[in-house]
Copies of this chain bind each other. A is one copy, B any other.
Amino acid sequence: MRLPDKTGAIEGAIAAIPDGATIMLGGFGVPGTPFLMIQELVRQNKRDLTIIKNDANETGMGVDHLLVAGCVRRLITTHLGLNANAIRMMNEGTIEVEFCAQGMLAERIRAGGAGLKGFVTDIGIDTEMGRGKQRVEIGGEVAMIETALRADVALLHAAQADTFGNLRFAATARNFSPLMAMAADTVIVEAEEIVTLGTIAPEDVHTPGPFVDHVVHVPNLSEEYAVVRR
């Protein structure tokens, strides 16, 4: 046996994403955000997207390009504090925003990726984040059901990928990416380095290749990857 090759070009991989798609984007702040694939979404003028990402980056970078270009209908996120533009669009009603506690967003995505329907938790039960959520009793205690999240597509940035899609992430760029890799019908990864099969030792794989559909090479990173404006 040999493992299949999943490498391809960024344009074609992104072209297959329809308008109206639900898209998970890796990244917490700058690290892990797939800036080049986001730019390609904007270039191909995708419309009516639901975006699932920890944050909306900052004004002028990443998710903000999608917002400004009018690609986004709905945003599921944990924090918009560094993007005044996103908060303005939310307040004006230009975009819908669903807020999750950060660990709840991570866990909802993981539940989708683990083929579960949801999970039972007491996080936020005494807060407005707990409103409207289905209650259940376990062992005499009342808790809430958080529903699993899945997406049509996940766009992820990896430090290293092999041709089968085994992935390694750098430092805190890992964050939501391994979870999103499990939770989308199609997973597209931009990798700074693409290596031959066997270069990544089996013990050192962060995301196993079977979760990944397409690997695109991004040898030349845009300025966004290193710039922090704060």
Residue ranges of A at the interface with B (Cβ–Cβ < 8 Å): 107, 111, 114-122, 134, 136, 138-139, 141, 143, 145, 147, 168-171, 202-204, 206
Contacts and interface: CB of A to CB of B under 8 A. Distances in A.
Nearest to A118: B120
Interface of A is mostly: mixed
Given A116-B119, A117-B138, A120-B117, A203 B111 contact: no
A147 B136 contact: no
A115 B198 CA distance: 36
8 contacts: A115-B121, A118-B119, A119-B119, A136-B136, A136-B145, A138-B147, A168-B203, A169-B203
Contacts of A139: 117, 147
Contacts of A118: 119-120, 138
B202 A204 contact: no
B114 A122 contact: no
A206 B114 CA distance: 19
Contact of A145 (B120, B147, B168, B202): B120
A117 B134 contact: no
A157 to B, nearest CB: 15
Contacts of A202: 171
Contact of A117 (B111, B115, B121): B121
A109 to B, nearest CB: 13
Contact of A204 (B136, B145, B204): B204
